[in-house]
Structure 1
Amino acid sequence: MRALTGLWRWRHNPVRRRTDLAEAWVALVALLLVAVAAPVAGCLAGAAAQDSLQRSARQQQHARHLVTATVVRNLGGAMPESDPDTSATREPHSRVLASWTGPDGTAQHGPLLTDLRSPHRGDRFGLWTDPHGRITARPLDSATATTHAVLAGLGTALLTAGLVEGGRRLAVWRLVRRRYARWDQAWDRAGPDWGKAGTGS
């Protein structure tokens, strides 16, 4: 709004300088870019991230399998582990020696963490593995992928708006410097006689 008001105000103003009009045009162009280019860039980035993340989520869900592991023995000790897909820290995890069968039928065993409160021999729990039975992280789900894509779109829109505003400020700074330089030149032309009685008459 200020850009439009500035353009209208300087349209036929007799004291208008070229830098005043240029500054108003720069503000108008920046306003249009923030209003149009930033949302478009955010939507494009969000859509690209959504496609990539959903494809990755489908690949992970296809390649990772939930198997049932059996506790062989409790290794003692517990430690809290934060799940990156949840906002809070989950219950403390217990270290156990467990055995499980991979999706390809191979028998596996090894130490790992379980969220069983007090694990005993023979207790069962779920475990994510790759096709060969090696332990892996839980696959990315569709909702989490969408959340990350939305955040990527918002970040891109904000970054675009910030770059446009930075460009506008740089352009205005240069215009102000040019305006001051012209004032200095005008003062130099006035010379040391400026303000004396009879000067110029």
Structure 2
Amino acid sequence: MRAVRGLRRWRHNPLRRTTDLVEAWVALAALLLLVLGAPAAGWIVGSLAQDVLQESAREQRSSRHQVTATVVRRLERSPTDADPENAGQDLRTRVLADWTAPDGTARHGVVLSVLGSPDRGDRFPVWTDATGRTAARPMDPGTATAHAVLAGLGAALLAAGIVEAARRLVVRHMVRRRYARWDQAWERAGPDWGRTGTGS
């Protein structure tokens, strides 16, 4: 709103400099870009991210399978056993387990168990690929949407920051040129400016 008032104020003012009018137009353009351009950039990036992430989630759900594993024995806990999807919860337990791959082959290996204190023979779900190798849990649609929203917000904030930075650079350049002109005018006026009889 200040930009619109600034344009109106400088429109018929006899003290108006060209740089004042340009500065007001730059402020108005920046305001329009902030109000319209930044949300549009956020919407576009968020929509594109949503499409890509939802497609990735569908591919993961179709290529990963949940099978049941049986605990052979419990292994020592490691700090790297935390599940990134469940940050802040207790560490998961490493176990040696047996499971059957989706193609019917028997598998054996170290996996992370969701069981608090697993004992031999306990059963728990594990995600695998089509060949039976363990895989991360597939991304669910809600997580994909949350990531897309964050990408859209980040793009909108980035666009707003770029617009504001560009406006400030333009205004700073104009102010420096204005001060340089003032310095030149003062030099032309000389040290006798304002004294009686000097013609100033």
Alignment of 1:1-201 (within 5 A): 1-77=1-77, 81-86=81-86, 88-200=87-199
In the alignment, is the contact (CA less than 8 A) between 1:83 and 1:89 conserved in 2? no
In the alignment, is the contact (CA less than 8 A) between 2:42 and 2:154 conserved in 1? yes
Change (3 A) 1:72 1:81: closer
User: 2-side partners of 1:124 and 1:79: how far apart?
Assistant: 23
The code of the aligned residue for 1:142 comes to: P
User: 2-side partners of 1:39 and 1:95: how far apart?
Assistant: 46
Any idea what SS the aligned residue of 1:85 has?
A: helix
User: 2-side partners of 1:91 and 1:184: how far apart?
Assistant: 68
In the alignment, is the contact (CA less than 8 A) between 1:80 and 1:93 conserved in 2? no
Is there any run of 5+ residues in structure 2 with no aligned partner, and where?
none
Residue 98 of structure 1 deviates from its aligned partner by 0.4
User: 1-side partners of 2:49 and 2:93: how far apart?
Assistant: 36
The code of the aligned residue for 1:163 comes to: I
RMSD (CA atoms): 1.5
Is there any run of 5+ residues in structure 1 with no aligned partner, and where?
none
In the alignment, is the contact (CA less than 8 A) between 2:81 and 2:93 conserved in 1? no
- Structure 1 window deviating more from structure 2 (183-192 vs 49-58): it is 183-192
Task: Report how many aligned residue pairs link the two structures.
Answer: 200
Fraction of identical pairs, as percent: 64
Length-normalised TM-score, structure 1: 0.94
In the alignment, is the contact (CA less than 8 A) between 1:73 and 1:120 conserved in 2? yes
Moved over 6 A (4+): none
Length-normalised TM-score, structure 2: 0.95
